[in-house]
Amino acid sequence: MDSSCETYDEFTPLHTACELGNLEMIEFLLSKGVSPHHKNRFGHCPMYMAIKNRHCQAVKLMSMKGVTVRLHPVRIAMEMIQAVQNGDYPLLYAWVASGVDMDIKDYNERTVMHEAVDLGDKLMIARLLDYGATPLERDVWGQTAMDNAQNDTTIMALFEPFFTVHCPTKQAYLLYKEKHSH
């Protein structure tokens, strides 16, 4: 069997296995040397297929094998922001499982946290904080999500005191994260 064969849309068996979340087949195809980075006609790699179909176990398996999603960072940010807008927690978790930076920025340098704050979605903000997103990134207008939340005490309470006292800058947060990751 040619495990790297393609359909007319350039889908490989690995694309299909990831789309279906078939862990055994993903493992088998990777062991046979099938490229996890091949993009189909639509520009989607197998990892993206697993993410979009919310197959978190498949995403984790691919990540453990060193596979990353091959999309432009702005596109990843836009898709994650759309997931926030739709309240799609399983899709956001699939992005987290892929190892993507939760502070990745769209074309206006806005993050998922900017969007959740703008929506006033406290549950989403709390979940994003759990996923590693921060309110510290600046957009093209120089605003952080925390700046945008200044008039909402309930949202600010989610950021305090960690981001207001202990880690008020992205650099302080990264140092904290590095110190406590071991």
pLDDT of residue 134: 95
Distances (CA, A) of 152 to 121, 131, 140, 149, 158: 11, 22, 22, 5, 10
Which residue, 108, 62, 99, is CA-closest to 81? Answer: 108
The mean per-residue pLDDT over the stretch 15-33 comes to 93
Domain ranges of the chain: 13-64, 73-180
CATH 1.25.40.20 fits 13-64, yes or no: yes
Per CATH, which fold does 73-180 belong to?
1.25.40
Residue 23 has pLDDT above 70, yes or no: yes
The mean per-residue pLDDT over the stretch 33-50 comes to 89
The mean per-residue pLDDT over the stretch 10-19 comes to 88
pLDDT of residue 59: 97
What pTM was computed for the model?
0.87
pLDDT of residue 87: 97
